[in-house]
Amino acid sequence: MDIVRRVRLRAEPGVLFRTDRRGRERRYETAGGGLAAVRYFSPVEDEKGKEPLFPERWGTAVFEDAEGRPVLQIPLAQWFPEADRLGTLFLDEAEHLDRSGLSGLVRELGIPLHTEAKSLRDMPSAYQRHRGVYVSLRAVPLFCELLRGVSMLFFIAAFITVMVSDGPSETAYAVASGSLFVVPATLVLSSVVLRRRAPDRVPPGPGLLVRPIPEPSPAVTHRFLTVPFVKVFPDYVVLTDSTGRESWFAREGSAAVSQVTVVSDTEGEKLAVELQGPGEQVRAMLPWRWWFGGTGGERSWKSLVDALGLPVKHRVEEHETDMAHSLGVPLGADMRGRAPLAPKDARSATRSSEGAAARGEWVLLLFAAIFLPGLGPGPDDLVLFLAGVFSALTFLLILIPYATHQLRSRLRLDRPAAAHEPESTA
């Protein structure tokens, strides 16, 4: 979450500024042999079909110096909020260079933009491996990933030693158990670090805060009434879906949100609100019935329109799409994420930040169970006892976050909520 709040690329005539997650800013100038051109490498067919968060799914922009050497490499899939929400069928018509703001960035720098028909991986290896900065938005701290990888190597080596040894290998036994413990420990540490970096669920600062005011329905849960929001800042409009995923859209610049469209069906029933960028590109969608369909919803809608200060248009949806259920819509996944989720789906989507069990690492429990008998002999056999202690701690680091997440969901967040009218606040 701290990534979308802090990491930025911006341009002034002749200068590109890159801000990292710690707020540190670095300048790249076009003068004196600095940035001279940008080459955009389009994704090939097999890259388009990759999972939504695959970095090269939207192609890669490479900023080059005067000699054609890479200075910065930017995977576009990580640089505009709706990249992982656009369906594969709509990739070719998404106008991602404008949508991501890359075209405007290059125009501001005053350097040429060249579009390549081939993928970056088709370039010579010397070009791909040049020491240019790969501006990837890493969510998990790097030291946690490295520590987890090293511990897995130690575990595999020690476990193989235990299996192939002719006699008991107590040292390898303890090393395997300790290395296994490090894996869930680093995942819990990552979760703690990420929460400390962005402790506020709602970004601080002055601005209008709008919460959903849904029509009465048993599908509405406490999670839906307390997690999603829209907040209008002077420079950004921030939307959060039912899983807590934040999307920041600029209000100024070449890729800014510039228009709001209310979509209705042929009978006049309002279906959705679209936030659109230049060229009427749909950047985000709010299902009307879940955000403004309840008592007081019209007043909340008016407050949002006033805060945005954008022109509002109306469109009748006449195509063979089921917008009410977000089917056949380019940002259908985005629209579904801003509606109430079924409790099981909500737990599945949110547990990824709640510990090791969330990441499909129940297999760790099977390996940890092998070392638990070491607790039996007690401290008399110190090495085996230590292996048993690490095994027990592994169980705790996996099961406690998982149980906490499940109980919080089942007992509070994903229970049906009584109808009420949350207030929009400035």
Distance CA 241, CA 232 (A): 15
Helix, strand, coil percentages, rounded to 5, for the chain: 45, 20, 35
Residue type, 313: K
> Which amino acid makes up residue 46?
D
Residue 420: C-alpha distances to residues 35, 214, 220, 226 (Å): 55, 9, 11, 12
For residues 233 and 207, the answer to whether their CB atoms sit within 8 Å is yes
Q: What is the pLDDT along the chain (426 residues), one digit of tens a residue?
A: 556 777 888 888 889 998 887 778 889 898 877 899 999 988 776 665 565 556 677 888 899 888 888 888 888 888 888 887 876 666 666 677 888 888 888 998 999 999 887 878 788 877 777 666 767 666 667 778 888 889 989 988 988 887 887 766 778 888 888 999 998 888 888 888 777 776 667 888 899 999 999 999 999 999 999 999 999 999 999 999 998 888 999 998 888 899 999 999 888 889 999 999 888 888 999 999 999 999 999 999 999 999 999 999 999 887 645 554 555 567 888 888 999 999 998 888 887 544 444 455 778 888 888 888 766 655 567 888 888 888 999 999 988 988 888 999 999 999 988 654 454 454
Q: Is 281 helix (H, G, I), strand (E, B) or coil?
A: coil
